[in-house]
Structure 1
């Protein structure tokens, strides 16, 4: 894990990578993607961080799961139910029910951006019984090659208020842990679907 602080805003920016250090070329790609799509400006009482995950599945398949703002339970293990209010479009709200085990039961979230060309999904939490105040996140999916096959680099970043009594480090570690769990589950689901698709392809004669 590498980090950077002292960005002039008083916030804390961290980069969390749960994988072994990638090759130099891969690091350059990651840095460029973060620079283009994940530039948050945390305030004095906020922290920000970025989590990366390399998935052995084509970007189209991974994105088909990520883009479903109306069905986060397809890969997020802590979501038990999701109801979208109104039409599925930018600006719509979803009511998410959280499974037991987390210090929350509901979350109200707004779809801020959905770009199917650049593979960008952005949300903002606007209500719920939790401590994630002024939480905004961006998740992007980028095609890459992994072990000679089609893969996807997924990056999720966020900015959030630091609750009273907590430090910026504590807050970042908590949110990072949730995101890592979600992205690990995304990888499992995506790679399983990719294997199923591959097995279903007819053998070449």
Structure 2
């Protein structure tokens, strides 16, 4: 991790999802704890994503009468030469599904433990 966990910080991510990539370099573009907004830009890695940026927002929601959370992720990305728009969207959607699954796992562990404080995350890739 380079930086102070603030805007402009860069992290190296090891991709372990089975996607056709093993590393990704991401820069934190936006972070608003009060509004629950996270924005990142992918700036490198061994994948074909170019000019990818994403905004994630988190919203409290009642789901089947129980408190829950709705997570919305929107993205923009250039279609790389040699790929179609559909292939690029398929890859990004698979990446988003993996990220949301990881977020759900962490959230469920926190809920089971009755934790509301942040879980320290080792970001060293």
Q: Among 37, 57, 61, which residue is 1:120 paired with?
A: 37
Matches within 5 A, 1:87-166: 87-99=4-16, 101-166=18-83
Q: Secondary structure at the match of 1:141?
A: strand
Q: Which has the higher contact order (CA 8 A, sep 6+)?
A: 1
Which consecutive unaligned segments of at least 5 residues does structure 1 have?
1-83, 199-205
Q: Do the aligned partners of residues 158 and 184 (structure 1) sit closer, same or farther apart at CA in structure 2, a change above 3 Å counting?
A: same
Query: Cα RMSD between the aligned structures?
Result: 1.9
Q: Which has the larger radius of gyration?
A: 1
Alpha carbons of 1:166 and 1:95: their partners in 2 closer, same or farther (altered >3 Å)?
same
Q: CA deviation at 1:100?
A: 7.3
Alignment length (residue pairs): 115
Query: Please, which runs of 5 or more residues in structure 2 have no aligned partner?
Result: 116-125
Q: In the alignment, is residue 175 of structure 1 matched against residue 92 of structure 2?
A: yes
Q: 1:131-185 CA distances to partner (integer Å, 9 max, x unpaired)? A: 0111100111001112222211001111111111221122112211221122123
Q: Which moved more, 1:177-186 or 1:86-95?
A: 177-186
- The normalised TM-score by structure 2 is 0.81
Q: Does structure 1 retain, via aligned residues, the 8 Å contact 2:17–2:98?
A: no
When normalised by structure 1's length, the TM-score is 0.52
Match of 1:191 in 2: 108
Q: How far apart, CA to CA, are the structure 1 residues paired with 2:93 and 2:103?
A: 15
In structure 2, distance between residues paired with 1:195 and 1:184? 16
SS of the aligned residue for 2:114 comes to helix
